[in-house]
Structure 1
């Protein structure tokens, strides 16, 4: 494989991540799942994913999944210390892949980033914020939960700016733009530095479950 997606850990987090990316259009045959549990591997295979059984902190196991050729790597291990070792080893094998990792404790997030993760999701903190939001403003909590369920109504997607949208302001688009990605900068929708949209910009937008504005969600 080349430019595929590798998911390390087929527990609750790994399964949820896969449901999201597959709902957005990722083909199951473009996914390799790594987990040391024979039961988890049998379940992943039954769902149509390629599997590699073993300890993902070992470079030989990662090589079996062709991590060195992967485009995206999702690290969803049960333990934070395992996640750090996995990210460090995966980054050594593949300097260019996008690596997203989940951790239980927020204090471990900086270590994940230092190890090579591009993005770190803190499970406990994210769940706590959603709980707090749901208590204070139930309707807002429902909207956030909806956004986290890809394809169920409202989705949040990142997509390139179309030719027709170039030269317009973010608020002029049919989709509700949250952020504009310009080069290495991530700009809030109301940042005066945006001005008008440029041909190479990407937007993060809230859309209907079909991808919004005729665009196919990124793979």
Structure 2
């Protein structure tokens, strides 16, 4: 297998991540799950995924999942220290993959990035922000919760700029633009540096899930 997605951990976080990417169009045959629990591996196989039973901090287990050929690696382990070791080992095996990791405590996020993670999501902080937003503005909290549920209501997707959109400003697009991805930079929709959209840009937009817009 090549250019596939490896998901380490088939608990609540891992399953939700997989369902999100599959709802956006990734085929189940392009996903490999790694989990130390035989029960979790059996559940993953029952859902149609390839799966490997073992400790993902070990390079031989990661190689069984063809991590060295993967395009994306999602680390959704239960413990932060385990996540650090998995990211470190996976990065050594695959310097070019995009690695996304989840941690429980925000203080551990810098360590994940130093270990090689491209993006780190802090579970406790994200939940706290959503709770705080809901307390201050219930409507805003509902909208954010909706955006977090892939495949229903509103979705946030990244897509290429179309030929018709090139040369126009982000505010001129029919779909609300959240940000513009230009090269390795992610620019806010109102950043003056954007100017007009370029043919090689990508945009992160909000769409209705039933609209059938193709994401990244």
In which range does the TM-score fall when normalised by the shorter chain?
A: over 0.9
Shift of the alpha carbon at 1:186? 1.1
Shift of the alpha carbon at 1:53? 0.3
**Matched pairs, number:** 216
TM-score, with normalisation over the residues of structure 1?
0.97
Pair 1:96 & 2:96 matched: yes
Correspondences of 1:12-91 after superposition (within 5 Å) = 12-91=12-91
Shift of the alpha carbon at 1:199? 0.5
Counterpart Cα distance in 1 of 2:93 and 2:114: 16
Shift of the alpha carbon at 1:217? 1.2
SS of the residue aligned with 1:34? strand
Counterpart Cα distance in 1 of 2:181 and 2:71: 19
Structure 1 moving runs of 4+ over 3 Å: none
- Given that 2:177 and 2:206 are in contact with CA atoms closer than 8 Å, whether structure 1 keeps it comes out as yes
Correspondences of 1:112-191 after superposition (within 5 Å) = 112-191=112-191
Correspondences of 1:187-198 after superposition (within 5 Å) = 187-198=187-198
- Given that 2:180 and 2:203 are in contact with CA atoms closer than 8 Å, whether structure 1 keeps it comes out as yes
Counterpart Cα distance in 2 of 1:215 and 1:123: 28
Shift of the alpha carbon at 1:75? 0.0
For structure 2, the residue ranges without an aligned partner over 5 or more in a row are none
For structure 1, the residue ranges without an aligned partner over 5 or more in a row are none
- Given that 2:207 and 2:213 are in contact with CA atoms closer than 8 Å, whether structure 1 keeps it comes out as no
